[in-house]
Amino acid sequence: MSTFKHILTGVKIVQKSWPLIVVTFAFKFALAFLFVIPLQNLASEAFGYRPAAELLLKEWNLTPLIDFIFNNLNVLKQYGYFIVVGVIFALTLHTFLSGGFFRALAVAQHGEYETLSAERFFGWCGRYFWKFMKIALISAIFYVVITFLFIILSTLGMRLILSDFTSEPVRIFVALGQLITLLLLLLFINMIMTYVKITTVSDEESQVLDTLGETVEFFSKNFGKALALYGGLLIGLLFFWGIFWVLQMGCGLLPTTMTIIALFILQQALSLTRSWYRLVGNASHTSLYFNNRAIR
């Protein structure tokens, strides 16, 4: 099957599993509000009946914002801690839900259910939670180790190869190249870990470390296909984001009330699209996996 066909299969599977979109959307919506509302309240306290807000709004005059930040530094620090704790909580919740998502998409590949019940979904979430937690921890370790190794090795390498270079543009381009390479490496790890998750839900008996081995084996035979699919999905994602970004820029031209409404609708449309697209991505990878895995 071609990359495009896997994406099409993904779209069909997600159509059947539409409640998953609702769960993903609700998750993102709740998180966004959880994080933004304290800040909104703080700003309301500072600007609620203050004409300074007009300056910020109409002229993008940053002085009120600068004053707001520096006169609320302590509260904003606390908000920063709240964000850190919130992100950890969100990632944990995300890990918990991921088991349900991947299992539901895997089951849907075989057409084993007509409609997805909450009971089955959350049952899978619970069943795979610990395994997915391990995968999340391994991913985090990989990200950190690869980042450090990359920085150390690339810096040493550059010093050896280009020991005499002092040209500023060359230094900047080298740094830019390093950054892009690192990003690609991290995306590559992300791709591998996506398949580890799929392998985990498709083989209930195996342990996480075994699934790592199976994933490596899968990649050794299907690396090109997986990369093409991952790349294709990434380009699609950038395309979606681009469209929404342009649309939200356009919202600034509307009157205030209309802007608020338009932005809110746009945000939710973006969130919904992103939820759908993310599920399509996972379903496409699942499709690729089931069509190409070694039969034992």
Partner 1 sequence: MAYWFPIKISVTFLVLFLFSPLSSLGQDGSSSSVVASYQIDVTLDNEKKKLYGDELITFTNISETSLDTLYLHLYPNAFRDEKTTFMRECPKWFRRRVARRRKWGYMDIGNVEIAGGVGLNDSIIINETVMKVVLPQLVPPGEEVELCVEFTVQLPEVIARMGYKGDHYSIGQWFPKMCAIRPDGSWVNHQYHCSSEFFANFGTYDVSFAVPEEYVVGATGYLQDETVDDEGMKTVRYNAETVHDFYWEADPDFTVTREVFDGVEVSFLCRPAHKRKIPRVMETARMALNYLGEWYGSYPYKKLVITDAETGPGGGGMEYPMIVAVEFSWLLPKSIRFEEAVLIHEIGHQWWYGVVASNEFEEAWLDEGINTYSTRKVLETLYGERDNFIKLFGLTLREPQYERGTYLMKPKSDPIVKDSWEFENFLSYTATVYSKASFMLETLERYVGEDVMREILRTYYQRFSFRHPTTDDFIAIAEEVSAQGLDWFFEPLLYGTGVCDYAVTWIESRETYGVDKGSTPERYRTKVKVERLGAVVMPVGVLIELEDGESINKNWDGMDRWVEFEMETGSKIKSAVVDPESKIVLDVDMNNNGMTVASQDLALFKIGSRLLFLWETAIQCLTGL
Query: Judged by CB, which is closer to partner 1: 206, or 273?
Result: 273
Query: Judged by CB, which is closer to partner 1: 6, or 278?
Result: 278
For residues 59 and 68, what is the distance between their CA atoms, to the nearest angstrom? 16
Least distance from partner 1 to the Cβ atom of residue 278, Å:
8
Query: Judged by CB, which is closer to partner 1: 233, or 288?
Result: 233
Stretch that binds partner 1, among 9-17, 105-113, 216-224, 258-266 (CB under 8 A): 258-266
Least distance from partner 1 to the Cβ atom of residue 106, Å:
20
Task: Report the Cα 98 to chain-centroid distance in Å.
Answer: 12
Confirm or reject binding of residue 259 to partner 1 (CB under 8 A). yes
Angle ∠(162,164,167) on CA atoms, nearest 5: 90
Least distance from partner 1 to the Cβ atom of residue 132, Å:
14
Confirm or reject binding of residue 257 to partner 1 (CB under 8 A). yes
Contact pattern for partner 1 over residues 114 through 153, marking x by CB under 8 A: -----------------------------x----------
CA dihedral 271, 273, 274, 277 (to 10 degrees): 160
Where does residue 25 rank: exposed (0-12), middle (13-18), buried (19+ CB within 10 A)? middle
Nearest Cα to 93, choosing from 38, 139, 187, 24?
24
- The answer to whether 13 touches 290, Cβ cutoff 8 Å, is no
Confirm or reject binding of residue 248 to partner 1 (CB under 8 A). yes
For residues 186 and 276, what is the distance between their CA atoms, to the nearest angstrom? 23
**Crossing angle between the packed helical segments 18-47 and 118-161, to the nearest 10 degrees:** 70
- The answer to whether 119 touches 19, Cβ cutoff 8 Å, is no
For residues 150 and 2, what is the distance between their CA atoms, to the nearest angstrom? 33
Measured from the Cβ of residue 53, the count of other Cβ atoms closer than 10 Å reads: 17
Scan residues 20-59 and list those touching partner 1 (CB under 8 A).
Answer: 28, 31-32, 35-36, 39-40, 43-44, 46-54, 56-57
Contact pattern for partner 1 over residues 77 through 96, marking x by CB under 8 A: ----------x--x---x--
Query: Judged by CB, which is closer to partner 1: 268, or 291?
Result: 268
Least distance from partner 1 to the Cβ atom of residue 295, Å:
31
Residues that bind partner 1 (CB under 8 A): 28, 31-32, 35-36, 39-40, 43-44, 46-54, 56-57, 60, 62-64, 66-68, 70-71, 87, 90, 94, 143, 166-169, 172, 186-187, 190, 237, 241, 248, 256-257, 259-260, 263-264, 266-267, 270-271, 274, 278
